[in-house]
Amino acid sequence: ICPSHQPLLLLLLLQCFCINKHKPWIETTYHGIVTENDDKVLLDPPLIALDKDAPLRYAGEICGFRIHGQNVPFEAVVLDKSTGEGVIRAKDKLDCEMQKEHTFTIQAYDCGEGPDGSNMKKSHKATVHIQVNDVNEYSPVFKEKSYKATVIEGKKYDSILKVEAVDADCSFQFSQICSYEIVTPDVPFTIDKDGNIKNTEKLNYSKERLYKLTLTAYDCGKNRASEDVLVKINIKPTCKPSWQGFNKRIEYEPGTGSLALFPSMHLETCEEPITSIQASIMLETNHIGKGCDRDTYSEKSLHKLCGASAGTVELLPAPSNSANWTVGLPTDNGHDSDQVFEFNGTQAIKVPEGVVSTTLKEPFTISVWMRHGPGGREKETILCNSDKTEMNRHHYSLYVHNCRLVLLLRQEPTESENYKPAEFHWKLDQVCDKEWHHYVLNIEFPAVTLFVDGATFEPFLVTEDYPLHASKIETQLTIGGCWQGGSARMTQYFRGNLAGLMIRSGKLENKKVIDCLYTCKEGLDVQLPEEVASAVKVEFNPNQSSLSLEGDDIESFEKVMQHISYLNSRQFPTPGIRHLRVSTTVKCFNEETCISVPDTEGYVMVLQPEEPKISLSGIDHFARGAAEFESTEGITLSIPDFQIIKLNQMERFCSNLLTNGFCFLAVQETVVSEEIMHNLDTCEVIVVGDELNGDHESLEVDLAQIQQRALEMSSSNVGMVITGVNTMANYEQVLHLIRYRNWHTEALFDRKFKLVCSELNGRYISNEFKVEVNVIHTANPMDHANNAMVQPQFINQVQHASVDLSGHNLANTHQASVVPSAATIVIVVCVSFLVFMIILGVFRIRAAHQHTMRDQENGKENEMDWDDSALTITVNPMETYEDQHSSEEEGDEEEEESEDGEEEDDITSAESDSSEDEGGEQEDQQGSTRQQQLEWDDSTY
């Protein structure tokens, strides 16, 4: 044998003669790691089986690995038989949450002695430990769906409550909750990593009673909770003594009577033993003119309503045509037409001569509403009567100086030159507190009494001076400043608000009237049940804007509080807010204040009342003869059909009955009883166009009838004003008495007037009812021999008047032909029988046509009276009936439009007879004669 073939030969011999002597060998312990959702296992050490039979084929090769264990989710695979290298891998996806670790045994097998695997040998069993690594596949979940907690206000807590979330991941890293977070922004709470919630500041029950927080959680893999959780934290108030069960906003509907302010109110005393309790309830209405919701009549009208006798002069009236000296003076806006005027320290007004006597007749009274704040060191004049020229003497004045109210009253010249009281000083907090107060000064020299809000005050200082020297200098009465006659300028300007400045000469104001002027139309009221009437003492202030309670039994005290109500007796109260405040003092057994009850505040919201409407209606267009204007009686402006009707917005309606030329306005029966209570306070008759010329025209009314109805009248060249709070019926009666006179009517063709009425000092104003009256001029036949020359003048006046004719129906059929009346027919018959026949025929046709038109128009009337005794008509005999009738119809249409449905008041005998004769033949005549011409007997024409 060749030496080079010896190794190969040796191998063949071994294979032929040697058997599989050795077992495979593997490590005794393996550790592996696998990630869930993955099948690859990382082993330490690597899986390698060795066999000493190597490099023998089969005996030295590794054919497989066998895993021993129940339900082992792994398998072992040989990668290389000759090297024995293998791997372990997962059969399916692993879930760490189901099983974190797996342990099993493994053996290696060689290939045996031949291809058939005979005499296969296996290694010992090795232990395999495999850990399943986690994947952060789950998010945190809170253990509770929501959390609740209750805390007491005013405390800071280390932990209010603890929330907890869990994570289903198997690993410590991904299953741990690393942080919690409050999602709701801007809340006074914080949460730590363990889920403990605490407040960052002291909580206030009055500020917030319930907090709702949204929380979330994060695991250490930064996964956020799948759902946030809601945490409710209730704030419980500490026991504080206070009134409870009180609604801050209380709505009041006008006209509903009294309204309970505290129906469910009770006092929390925190179980303190109480021996006495005092409370004051204040209703603040400073935003309303004069500090209270009073009826907004003029101050003069209020004096009358309160029972004051005549002689009161209003120095600050609402601007009007008859009282215009307050025009341009700033007003305090938004005070419901309450006549409140602002004085800013630069404005003053002069009262015209004749408004009030220059020398007041003692005794006399000065009253005023005033609101004034702390002023400067200068005098601020409310009212001043001083020399008009040359000198600066002050005869009497009322002014404010350093929060003092001062009345200066210089005596007029007398024989004795002794000192006499001249200045009266009152030092009052009310003068400078920026609130409304009512001041009344009763002067009966040398005594002067001051009433402020109904309470009496005596002067703390009276200074004396000599009487004034005699002079013939006239005086000037001013308001808001004092006139310096020597330098012709104003000084001592007032800064504040004034209203209702009145002077009453010859008589003092009594206390009953003063209290009435100051009394509110709104205020507090209480109707106590009998069982508690004696247990609690109740006192009101004069205007019922505040009341005080005192008692020692809490239960009775609470019942009284529950019966306190708000009442506003005004028909149309001022809408808006009335602030309420309840101040309380409580005492315990030691007779000292033991607990403090804070003030309770709220407001009454007075809702907008339903506003009424005042309607003036009637015939607004009529004519009268010139002789009536020139008579001593004149003509009445308001005919009997004139009406004043007060309507509610929701209740007014029109009956649409066209009677007497206007639509009746009515109210339902359920409203009439309420409307009777309404009053007017002013009606003005205003001249439209040129002012009245006092030389030949005037407006007049029976003053006795005015005074009988407790009204007043003032007139000027622009009209007449009726004033005074009175019923609509009385005003209507007086307006029917107003007459217009003109004793120079040659150049007068018409006069126009306007009527306006109002109530509550102009708060509610009627429509403007306009009246036009035309003058009927008659022609004198003695002045015109040629009748044809009179006719154009007559026609021209008819066109100018364009009004109703009372007693006659005239149709302006042609500029050269006019249908005459019965009186004209009589005159014409005396002149010519032929003319009479012509006029009679035309008139019969005219009467038949007018009868039909009256039936269609429901009896409309005309209002013009004509004196046409000198009227002469010239008729064209060639004119056809069709033209004549067509012209009549056109004239009738124009007349109907201008008359607006008015009827004739008087019908002459000739017209009546003609109507009766033609009554049964009208239809036949209209059908048969419409196509025929008029037949004329012109033998004598």
Confidence label for 3 from pLDDT (cuts 50, 70 and 90) = low
Give the phi and the psi of residue 890 in degrees, each rounded to 5.
Answer: -60, -40
Question: What's the token pair of residue 277?
Answer: 């309790």
> Looking at the predicted structure, is the pLDDT value of residue 561 above 80?
yes
Which residue ranges does the chain devote to CATH 2.60.40.680? 242-287+521-606
Which pLDDT score, from 0 to 100, does residue 655 have? 33
Give the architecture-level CATH label for domain 141-236: Sandwich (2.60)
In Å, how far are 521, 724, 758 from 571, measured between CA atoms? 10, 18, 15
Which region among 460-464, 763-767, 839-843 has the lowest average model confidence (pLDDT)?
Answer: 839-843
Contact 298, 318 (CB under 8 A): yes
What pLDDT, on a 0 to 100 scale, did the predictor assign at position 872? 34
Average pLDDT over residues 184-203: 93
Residue 811 contacts residue 805 (beta carbons within 8 Å): no
Instruction: Provide the pLDDT for residue 488.
Output: 87
pLDDT digits (tens, 9 = 90+) for 276-317: 899 999 998 877 777 788 776 766 777 777 766 667 888 888
Which of 221-225, 228-232, 467-471, 767-771 comes out lowest in average pLDDT?
Answer: 467-471
270 compared with 180, residue with greater pLDDT: 180
Largest CA-CA distance found in the chain, in angstroms, rounded: 195
pLDDT tier at 426, thresholds 50, 70, 90? very high
The stretch 613-634 carries a mean pLDDT of 85
Tokens of 888: 């009549």
CA-derived radius of gyration, the chain: 56
Query: What is the residue type of 10?
Result: L
Whether 184 has a pLDDT exceeding 90, the answer reads yes
Q: List, for residues 69-94, the tens digit of each pLDDT value.
A: 888 889 898 888 888 899 988 888 88
- Asked if 275 and 244 touch (Cβ cutoff 8 Å), the reply is no
Average pLDDT over residues 534-549: 86
The segment with the largest mean pLDDT, out of 110-124, 208-222, 413-427, 775-789, is 208-222
pLDDT beyond 50 at 740 = yes
CA dist., res. 304 & res. 725, Å (int): 8
466 or 283: which leads in pLDDT? 283
Least confident of 225-234, 245-254, 855-864: 855-864
Span between the terminal Cα atoms of the chain, in Å: 192
What average pLDDT does the structure give for the chain? 76
Q: Identify the pLDDT of residue 92.
A: 82
Strongest mean pLDDT among 741-750, 880-889, 908-917: 741-750
Distance CA 601, CA 239 (A): 19
CATH code, residues 242-287+521-606: 2.60.40.680
Backbone angle region of 594, left / alpha / beta, with phi > 0 → left and psi within -120 to 50 → alpha: alpha
**Residue 668 — very low, low, confident or very high, per pLDDT cuts 50/70/90?**
very low
Instruction: List where CATH 2.60.120.200 sits in the chain.
Output: 299-518
pLDDT tens, position by position, 372-398: 988 777 899 999 999 988 888 888 899
The length of the chain is: 941
- Cis bond before residue 529 (omega within 30° of 0): no
Residue 29 predicted with pLDDT over 50 = yes
- The CB density around residue 814, as the number of other CB atoms within 10 Å, is 17
User: Looking at 271-275, 330-334, 742-746, 871-875, which range is the least confident one?
Assistant: 871-875
CATH classification (class only), 299-518: mainly beta
- pLDDT grade for 918, boundaries at 50, 70 and 90: very low
Within 10 angstroms of residue 95's Cβ, the number of other Cβ atoms is 16
pLDDT for the residue 917: 39
* pLDDT for residue 661 is more than 70: no
Confidence at residue 152, expressed as pLDDT on a 0 to 100 scale: 87
**How far is Cα 483 from Cα 366, in angstroms, rounded to an integer?**
19
177-182 sheet: strands from edge to edge:
146-152, 229-236, 210-219, 177-182
**CATH 3.40.50, applies to 613-648+678-776:** no
Distance CA 470, CA 417 (A): 12
Contacting residues for 770 by C-beta, under 8 A, at least 6 apart: 620, 688, 752, 753, 754, 755
Contact call for residues 110 and 20 (beta carbons, < 8 A): yes
Contacts for 496 with CB less than 8 Å, ≥ 6 apart: 342, 343, 370, 371, 372, 373, 375, 380, 400
168-172, 453-457, 811-815, 861-865: segment of lowest average pLDDT: 811-815
Per-residue pLDDT tens over the stretch 105-124: 999 998 887 887 778 888 89
Cβ burial of 376 (10 Å; 0-12, 13-18, 19+) is exposed
Residue 17's Cβ-count burial label (10 Å; 0-12, 13-18, 19+) is: exposed
Q: Answer whether 721's CB lies under 8 Å from 682's CB.
A: yes
- Calpha distance 163→232 (Å, rounded): 12
Mean pLDDT of 532-560: 87
Lowest-confidence segment of 47-61, 334-348, 659-673, 923-937 by average pLDDT: 659-673
pLDDT in tens, 129-164: 988 877 788 889 999 999 999 998 888 899 999 999
Domain ranges in the chain with CATH number 2.60.40.60:
29-133, 141-236
Calpha distance 567→258 (Å, rounded):
4
Lowest mean pLDDT among 272-286, 413-427, 512-526, 875-889: 875-889
pLDDT band per the 50, 70, 90 thresholds, residue 221: confident
8 A C-beta contact, residue 233 and residue 163:
no
| Tokens (6 digits) for 824 | 């004209």
CATH of domain 29-133: 2.60.40.60
3-state secondary structure of 695: coil
Amino acid at residue number 292: C
3 state DSSP class of 415: coil
Give the model's pLDDT for residue 382: 94
Residue 255 pLDDT level (bands cut at 50, 70, 90): confident
- How does pLDDT run across 471-520, given as a tens digit for each residue? 888 889 999 999 998 888 999 999 999 988 988 887 888 888 887 777 78
Per residue, what are the HEC states of 508-536?
CCCHHHHHHHHCCCEEEEECCCHHHHCCE
Q: What is the pLDDT of residue 646?
A: 63
pLDDT value of position 281: 94
The alpha carbon of residue 434 and the mean position of all alpha carbons in its chain are separated, in whole angstroms, by 26
pTM for the model stands at 0.53
Report long-range pairs for 466-470 (Cβ below 8 Å, ≥24 apart).
466/417, 466/418, 466/419, 466/420, 467/410, 467/411, 467/412, 467/413, 467/414, 467/417, 467/420, 468/393, 468/395, 468/410, 468/411, 468/412, 468/413, 469/413, 470/413
What residue type is assigned to position 296 of the chain?
Answer: T
DSSP letters for 221-251: T-PBPSS-EEEEEEEEPP---EEES--SEEE
Using DSSP's 3-state secondary structure scheme, residue 304 falls into: helix
Task: Give the pLDDT of residue 911.
Answer: 36
Contact 511, 497 (CB under 8 A): no
